Amino acid sequence: MLVAGAFSYRKFPAQVQLANLLSAHYTVYNYDRRGRGDSGDTQPYATQREKEDLQAIIDEAGGSAYVWGLTSGAILALQAEASGVNISK
């Protein structure tokens, strides 16, 4: 699971390159966070909804996942794990 930073999205060139490299060994989910890329957002913004989004994608992927985050995406992933989102690594 790749979680982009605040000024990034799933089609950011470095994000695409990382997804392509990892896909040789893993199933990669590279998604647009709320309000980025093709994703909309419900106002007002809430970090809790981003954690819920991450959990929903993990559930769809089988229930647990390795997560890599870039800048604010890394903080989001750490906060999500601390709040109980099923992140394996």
- pTM for the complete prediction? 0.87
**Structural domain harbouring 68:** 2-82
Within-domain flag for 60: yes
Between CA 5 and CA 32 the distance in angstroms is: 10
Counting the structural domains of the chain, the total is 1
Residues 35-57 have a mean pLDDT of 84
* Tokens matching residue 29: 């989910």
Average pLDDT for 59-83: 95
Q: Does some domain include residue 87?
A: no
**What's the confidence (pLDDT) of residue 82?**
96
In a domain, 34, yes or no: yes
**Looking at the domain assignment, is residue 89 inside a domain?**
no
In a domain, 88, yes or no: no
Region of residue 33 (phi > 0: left; psi between -120 and 50: alpha; otherwise: beta): beta
